[in-house]
């Protein structure tokens, strides 16, 4: 078995153009970890080494439930290794591809709220992610969302890693100012987060083109298509479109403000839906409710006393009859014919395109502790 320092390599979790991530076992602390390393052919490139150390430095600042935790950074055999928390689950990108359809409004807002919590914390610590996209958002088996890959993150006020004027990021999710070569700030992450929410609701990103140049032009100049979804409140769409404004100053001032707007909108939507359900109450039930409203009338009270006495007398007579007449013992045929109580098993839904059972507290709660997310009642 391959061993790097005190870590026994278990399996390859993922591989990209820059690095690899392995699952490993820490033989000292006896726990599973994830180890990220650069591809061997990039070890002599100073820019990639700088970026790798940059990611570790930024992660070392952050300690939040919605951000992957860095344990250590060390070098061995001329390579650099980041030892991080091992996150079991699936990325939002994998979830979207597995489902082949959009995600419901309630689930989408719940997921995005978690990401916004992590981003707001990172911004408060002076770290801008700059590459928010579904592939960098991991949903654990318990429904907790983890922001991953701070490889091109930047500290507020620091110099760029790309001094040659190039841009780094993922085009379908990049803010217009990033595409223009500007450094960007917290509102750039907000724009990318809004793109992710749009994709979850619509089943596709708002801008697509056959060439990178055409896609960049659409991101910079084109307006996103309006969302025409049943049940999507105008306030939710308004908050989303504001976060997608081309000019940063026209967006929300912070990711936290966007999160608060979504929470308020979701709460109003739930209250409105409850009101609509009450308005559609069947006539007999509505009549019964109006009758209950007259409970204070003296005639109603006299009727209630007489009815209560009759019910009590009938109950006592039934009890006496059961005591005087013994019940026959059940036969073996009766026992065989008795219905069995079905056992209910709840299976994990990860890896199958279903949302995990827990995601986030209700929108009206103020702290991002994971709570229960409703499963979708219908497949989209």
**Alpha-carbon span 274 to 358, nearest angstrom:** 23
Q: In the structure encoding, which two tokens stand for residue 206, read together?
A: 């708002």
**Alpha-carbon span 92 to 147, nearest angstrom:** 11
Q: Which of 26, 107, 131, 260 is catalytic?
A: 131
**Alpha-carbon span 315 to 152, nearest angstrom:** 75
- Is residue 264 within 8 Å of residue 252, measured between CB atoms? no
Which class for 167: exposed (0-12), middle (13-18), buried (19 or more C-beta within 10 A)? middle
Which residue in this structure is represented by tokens 């052919």? 41
One DSSP character per residue, 145-173 reads: EEE---TT-EETTPPPS-TTS---S-GGG
Catalytic residue status for 77: no
What contacts 257, CB < 8 A, 6 or more positions away? none
Q: What are φ and ψ of residue 374, in 5° steps?
A: -65, 135
**Alpha-carbon span 10 to 106, nearest angstrom:** 37
Cβ neighbours, 10 Å, residue 123: 20
Which residue in this structure is represented by tokens 């602390």? 29
CA–CA distances in Å: residue 379 to residues 270, 324, 328: 21, 56, 50
What contacts 40, CB < 8 A, 6 or more positions away? 79
Helix (H, G, I), strand (E, B) or coil at 68: coil
- Is residue 175 within 8 Å of residue 207, measured between CB atoms? no
Between strands 19-26 and 127-128, the pairing is: unpaired
Q: Which residues are catalytic?
A: 131
């Amino acid at each position: 078995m391959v061993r790097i320092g005190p870590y026994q390599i278990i399996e390859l979790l993922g591989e990209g153009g820059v690095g690899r991530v392995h699952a490993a076992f820490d033989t000292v602390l006896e726990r599973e970890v994830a180890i990220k390393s650069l591809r061997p052919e990039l070890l002599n490139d100073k820019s990639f080494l700088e970026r790798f150390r940059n990611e570790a430095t930024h992660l070392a600042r952050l300690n939040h439930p919605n951000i992957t935790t860095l344990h250590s950074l060390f070098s061995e055999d001329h390579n650099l290794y980041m030892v991080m928390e091992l996150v079991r689950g699936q990325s939002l990108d994998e979830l979207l591809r597995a489902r082949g359809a959009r995600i419901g409004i309630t689930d989408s807002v719940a997921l995005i709220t978690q990401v916004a919590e992590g981003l707001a914390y990172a911004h408060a610590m002076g770290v801008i992610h700059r590459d928010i996209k579904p592939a960098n958002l991991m949903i654990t088996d318990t429904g907790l969302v983890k922001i991953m890959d701070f490889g091109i993150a930047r500290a507020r006020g620091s110099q760029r890693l790309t001094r040659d004027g190039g841009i780094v990021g993922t085009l379908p999710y990049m803010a217009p100012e990033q595409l223009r070569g500007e450094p960007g700030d917290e509102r750039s992450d907000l724009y990318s987060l809004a793109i992710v929410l749009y994709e979850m609701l619509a089943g596709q990103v708002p801008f697509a083109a056959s060439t990178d140049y055409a896609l960049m032009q659409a991101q910079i100049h084109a307006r996103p298509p309006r969302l025409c979804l049943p049940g999507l409140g105008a306030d939710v769409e308004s908050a989303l479109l504001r976060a997608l404004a081309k000019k940063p100053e026209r967006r929300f001032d912070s990711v936290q403000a966007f999160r608060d707007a979504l929470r308020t909108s979701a709460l109003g939507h739930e209250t409105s839906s409850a009101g609509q359900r009450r308005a559609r109450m069947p006539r007999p039930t509505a009549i019964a409710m109006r009758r209950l409203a007259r409970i204070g009338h003296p005639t109603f009270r006299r009727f209630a006393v007489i009815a209560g006495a009759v019910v009590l007398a009938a109950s006592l007579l039934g009890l006496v009859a059961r005591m005087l007449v013994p019940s026959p013992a059940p036969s073996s045929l009766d026992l065989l014919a008795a219905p069995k109580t079905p056992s209910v098993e709840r299976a994990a839904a990860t890896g199958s395109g279903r949302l995990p059972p827990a995601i986030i507290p209700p929108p009206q709660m103020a702290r991002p502790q994971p709570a229960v997310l409703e499963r979708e009642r219908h497949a989209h």
